[in-house]
């Protein structure tokens, strides 16, 4: 599976085009301007791809700017987690809160939940529910090529925000990272909603938030090693 990333808008939010065997899915639609949308279309045209699905990792406003445009441009399904519905219904409110404007997407009628799969071009993506940054956060995992699109859950050296946003939970977020993403294995490449791609192994070793969480959950016996010199 090929993964092409684009970073769009003042929010610096990533859109991904995943393709294989002439078919594609778009994961998140952060393209706000005509020029940004054209960049995605150019890659689709260059590789002569048929877009099968528009998928959302979650429906925060910076991830949905281009949804309506793609919906009108392609004959494809548009799906998200069911908990995305109230966020999409309040797209205008979300935009106003950040002083931006959005063309509200249509409200999806088919939903993705933990354990579901999405298929295109001979590829099957597995859906994992990874809430905490938002209740509708889901991740798309392609185990064969060890690549995962994880939205705003785990970033290079950082984690998804849980302050100043509705319906967040720091506890759920850390559980999504340590109990759901970490078991994907150190080789798994992570394509996040913001910033560069990384791997589970890199974040296990270098991400201070992950290290703290693993320490607290007993992943390393920190209390004993800290006390050993006294």
Interface residues with Zn ion (CB under 5 A) are: 13, 60, 62, 152, 193
Considering the complex, state which of residue 13 and residue 52 has its C-beta at the smaller distance from Zn ion. 13
In the bound state with Zn ion, the residue whose beta carbon lies nearer, of 162 and 207, is 162
Number of other CB atoms surrounding residue 142 within 10 Å: 20
Distance in Å, CB of 132 to Zn ion, minimum: 11
CB-based contacts of 147, cutoff 8 Å, min separation 6 = 1, 3, 141, 188, 189, 191
In the complex, least distance from residue 98 CB atom to Zn ion, rounded to whole angstroms: 11
Closest to 181 in 3D by CA, of 224, 229, 146 = 146
User: Rg for the chain (alpha carbons), in Å?
Assistant: 18
Q: How far apart are CA 65 and CA 103, in angstroms?
A: 7
In the bound complex, what is the minimum distance in angstroms from residue 103's beta carbon to Zn ion? 18
3-state secondary structure of 167: coil
CB of 60 to Zn ion, least distance (A): 3
Report the residue number, 65 or 70, with the smaller CB distance to Zn ion.
65
| Choice between 78 and 120, CB closer to Zn ion | 78
């Amino acid at each position: 599976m090929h993964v092409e990333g684009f970073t769009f808008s003042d929010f610096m939010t990533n859109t991904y085009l995943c393709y294989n065997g002439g078919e594609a899915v778009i994961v998140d639609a952060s393209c706000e301007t005509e020029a940004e949308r054209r960049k995605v279309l150019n890659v689709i045209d260059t590789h002569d791809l048929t877009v099968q699905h528009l998928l959302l990792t979650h429906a925060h406003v910076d991830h949905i700017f281009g949804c309506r445009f793609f919906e009108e441009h392609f004959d494809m399904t548009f799906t998200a987690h069911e908990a995305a519905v109230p966020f999409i219904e309040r797209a205008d409110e979300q935009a106003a809160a950040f002083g931006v404007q959005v063309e509200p997407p249509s409200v999806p009628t088919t939903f993705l939940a933990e354990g579901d799969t999405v298929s295109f071009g001979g590829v099957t993506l597995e859906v994992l529910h990874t809430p905490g940054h938002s209740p509708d956060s889901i991740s798309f995992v392609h185990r064969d090529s060890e690549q995962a699109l994880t939205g705003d859950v785990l970033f290079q050296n950082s984690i998804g925000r849980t302050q100043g946003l509705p319906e967040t939970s720091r506890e759920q977020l850390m559980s999504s990272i340590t109990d759901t993403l970490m078991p994907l294995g150190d080789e798994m490449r992570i394509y996040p909603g913001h910033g560069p791609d990384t791997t589970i192994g890199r974040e296990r070793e270098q991400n201070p938030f992950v290290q703290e969480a693993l320490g607290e959950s007993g992943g390393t016996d920190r209390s004993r090693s800290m006390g050993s010199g006294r």
